[in-house]
Homo-oligomer: A and B are copies of this chain.
Amino acid sequence: MPTADHATGSYPRTARTTPTRAAQRASWDRERVHGILDDGYLCHLGFVRDGAAVVLPTLYARVGERLYVHGSTGSYPLRTASGAPQGLPVCVTVTHVDGLVLARSAFHHSVNYRSVVVHGTARQVTDPAEKAAALDAIVDQAIPGRSADCRPANGKEAAATAVLAIELTEVSAKFRTGGPNDEPEDRELPHWSGVLPVSVSTGAPVAAPDLAAGVALPSYLTAQRSTNA
């Protein structure tokens, strides 16, 4: 879904994607945004219900310039998006923590992180082919290669699953990298200063106790991964 700004490599800035603070940590760069989204699979989906914000964790996948978000047909945002021809306004946020930044002063403590905030309108995916592809993408976002190695959903299962689609048009990233920004006069204080790296990793796969005989661990699970999810 390229937009007019695709050629520039950046998402257009809007009032709500322009931060009120720490503007030097903001980015609208398409490649950076995609990279942050592609490094995760868990998002926090925000919407308004009865005038108040609700924030729920769920799974997502990026497919080009579109996010697919997983839901149940019984959940509020899905039912609302389904019943609203104009869609449901949402905010989708993805955050990775890369490190804890310890400065000599309490004030300069910080976090190295990468986050993306997507503002948009969610529509329910109703086309069966698009929905099947979106669900495959959501599985593969968390476990690349897995969607081709499991039984596809049957009709009843597909009907019990819902997917929301949000176009990536109003998007921004924020990030911090590097060490502590201590005040020059604090440098000789006797407090350790530096960065404690943080990462997400996967452990050894635990097979289901009733795994059929002869089913080997698939290659997409044999390589340990260490990414921020």
- Report A's interface with B, CB cutoff 8 A: 16, 20-22, 42, 44-57, 59, 72, 74-76, 89-93, 95, 97, 100, 102-107, 109, 111, 113, 115, 117, 119, 135-136, 139, 142-143, 146-147, 149-154, 157-158, 160-161, 179-180, 182, 186-212, 214-218, 221, 229
Contact = CB atoms under 8 A, between A and B. Distances in A.
Contacts of A74: 20-21
A4 B229 CA distance: 38
B102 A143 contact: yes
Contacts of A107: 153-154, 157-158, 160-161
- For the residues of A in contact with B, the DSSP-based class is mixed
Contacts of A190: 212, 214-215
Given A52-B48, A151-B104, A203-B197, A95 B191 contact: no
A131 B204 CA distance: 43
A139 B106 contact: yes
23 contacts: A20-B74, A20-B76, A44-B55, A52-B119, A53-B89, A54-B117, A100-B142, A100-B202, A103-B150, A106-B139, A107-B160, A111-B142, A149-B192, A179-B206, A188-B212, A192-B217, A194-B208, A196-B205, A197-B204, A198-B202, A198-B229, A199-B200, A199-B201
Pairs of residues from A and B, 4 with the lowest C-beta to C-beta distance, nearest first: A197-B203, A46-B53, A46-B55, A107-B157
